[in-house]
Amino acid sequence: MRVEYGHANRLPESNISTQFKFNVTACEPYQTFQVAFNTDNPQNILIELPMPTLSQFLQQHLAEHQLPAELGSVVSTIVQACQTISGQVRQGALAGVLGEAGSSNVQDEAQKKLDVIANQILIDSLSTNPAVAGLASEEEEQFVSINEQGRYLVLFDPLDGSSNIDINISVGTIFSILEKPAGPLSTQSFLQSGRAQVASGYTLYGPQTQLVLCLSHGVAVFTLDAGGQFVQTQLNPKIPQATREFAINMSNQRHWQPPMQQYIAELLAGETGPRGKNYNMRWVASMVAEIHRILMRGGIFMYPKDARDPAKPGKLRLMYEANPLSLIIEQAGGTSTNARESMLDIQPEGLHQRVAVIMGSREEVDYATRLHQQ
């Protein structure tokens, strides 16, 4: 008989013949374990360990990888802000937070009320944490100084997927944490490659509010419970190397460069084309939701460079969208490029720099990137 420790919800419901809870009195403090018998393999018993909360996870993870407590405190501050944002998103029209703010951000994009609210919630929270030296946001033209002595820089997109806010489709907060280099804080302090990130994550405001967190030692997934606690529900998800699912805004096809035209044409050709298999397409128009789908079941996400506006090579931003999500994708076994080089190796030139994005399942990203290098 094999006894496995994990979460019983890893077994399909139909495979669990008996579930019961009992107290194991031999350990301190008394803990409740769930035991599931797998009917496909009766020799297997799965003992469900109690799922750690975010603070329990952080305590254990920081100690195990000898990471500074201050880093944990910055993560906790960001997550507390995300919980507040989650509450606002959930209320929607009831809290009067939907609709346009009537202003534009640095990239000349119309701001939604919730973009502005989420941005302010994050700035207010981070301003109270002495470990934060400064922050940069999609909604702020310049960086914001917080505490000269602070050790960390936080970069974020307060609410990604703005076009979905008013229609009750998933949106999310994306964040990246860097160490502040020595010396006075300047824009240059933030311009570090994605590999330098000490942590990144996102909170997805979907049917469930979920937090995905990476401190460069694997990826942990948490779900917000009814009591307002983030509880770890998955550890180290692995992105399948191969996939049959792609995500791209097809309406821009005529503006793409020839390699991207070729790549998508090959996918659309299906079984009879050079790739020899049929592909399915998804487009949520919230990058954070697309990347979560890829983390859970694989896929490839692209927002390529296109010829619509020479001043905008790609739509997405390197520092607070592509880099943090690329770190998570890489740590989960996927990969990410700008069609030429690894996303995480790009040396940034500006806080709001745009970048072409190809990320997800390794086989597809490598193939699409190779086409661009020929």
Q: Within 17-56, which residues bind ligand AHM (CB under 6 A)? A: none
Q: Which does 162 bind (CB under 5 to 8 A by kind): ligand AHM, Mg ion, none?
A: ligand AHM
Judged by CB under 6 A, the stretch of 161-169, 185-193, 323-331, 363-371 that binds ligand AHM is 161-169
Residue 139 sits in the site that holds ligand AHM (CB under 6 A)? no
Q: 305, 313 in Cβ contact below 8 A?
A: yes
Return the axis-axis angle of helices 69-91 and 113-127, rounded to nearest 10°: 150
Q: What is the DSSP string of 263-290?
A: HHHHHHHGGGSTT-S--EE---S-HHHH
Q: How far apart are CA 232 and CA 297, in angstroms?
A: 18
Residue 210 sits in the site that holds ligand AHM (CB under 6 A)? no
Tell me the longest C-alpha to C-alpha distance in the chain.
Answer: 67
Interface residue with ligand AHM among 119, 137, 162, 336 (CB under 6 A) is: 162
**Token pair belonging to 335:** 């990969």
Q: What is the DSSP string of 209-224?
A: EEEEEESSS-EEEEEE
Of 198 and 291, the one with the shorter C-beta distance to Mg ion is 291
Residue 109 sits in the site that holds ligand AHM (CB under 6 A)? yes
Residue 103 sits in the site that holds ligand AHM (CB under 6 A)? no
What are φ and ψ of residue 148, in 5° steps? Answer: -50, -35
We find the least distance from the C-beta atom of residue 303 to ligand AHM, in angstroms, to be 6
Contact residues for 247 (Cβ-Cβ < 8 A; gap 6+): 281, 282, 283, 284, 290, 293, 294, 299, 300, 301, 302
Q: Closest residue to Mg ion, Cβ-based?
A: 160
Report how many residues bind Mg ion under the rule CB under 5 A: 2
What are φ and ψ of residue 70, in 5° steps? Answer: -60, -35
We find the least distance from the C-beta atom of residue 297 to ligand AHM, in angstroms, to be 18
Judged by CB under 5 A, the stretch of 18-26, 76-84, 151-159, 190-198 that binds Mg ion is 151-159
Q: How far apart are CA 34 and CA 103, in angstroms?
A: 52
Binding mask 101-140 for Mg ion (x = CB under 5 A): ----------------------------------------
Q: Closest residue to ligand AHM, Cβ-based?
A: 287
Q: How far apart are CA 208 and CA 110, in angstroms?
A: 27
Residue 160 sits in the site that holds ligand AHM (CB under 6 A)? yes
We find the least distance from the C-beta atom of residue 176 to Mg ion, in angstroms, to be 12
Of 162 and 335, the one with the shorter C-beta distance to ligand AHM is 162
Q: 45, 35 in Cβ contact below 8 A?
A: yes
Contact residues for 161 (Cβ-Cβ < 8 A; gap 6+): 169, 170, 171, 172, 284, 285, 286, 287, 288, 289
Residue 330 sits in the site that holds ligand AHM (CB under 6 A)? no
Q: How far apart are CA 118 and CA 61, in angstroms?
A: 28
We find the least distance from the C-beta atom of residue 283 to ligand AHM, in angstroms, to be 7
Q: Which does 235 bind (CB under 5 to 8 A by kind): Mg ion, ligand AHM, none?
A: none
Interface residue with ligand AHM among 150, 161, 298, 360 (CB under 6 A) is: 161
Q: Within 234-293, which residues bind ligand AHM (CB under 6 A)? A: 249, 285-287
Q: How far apart are CA 267 and CA 244, in angstroms?
A: 9
We find the least distance from the C-beta atom of residue 25 to ligand AHM, in angstroms, to be 50
Residue 160 sits in the site that holds Mg ion (CB under 5 A)? yes
We find the least distance from the C-beta atom of residue 352 to ligand AHM, in angstroms, to be 11
Of 46 and 295, the one with the shorter C-beta distance to Mg ion is 295
Q: 155, 176 in Cβ contact below 8 A?
A: yes
In the block, which residue shows the tokens 């020839």? Answer: 258
Residue numbers at the binding site for Mg ion (CB under 5 A) = 157, 160
What is the contact surface with ligand AHM in residues (CB under 6 A)? Answer: 109, 138, 157, 160-163, 249, 285-287, 303, 315
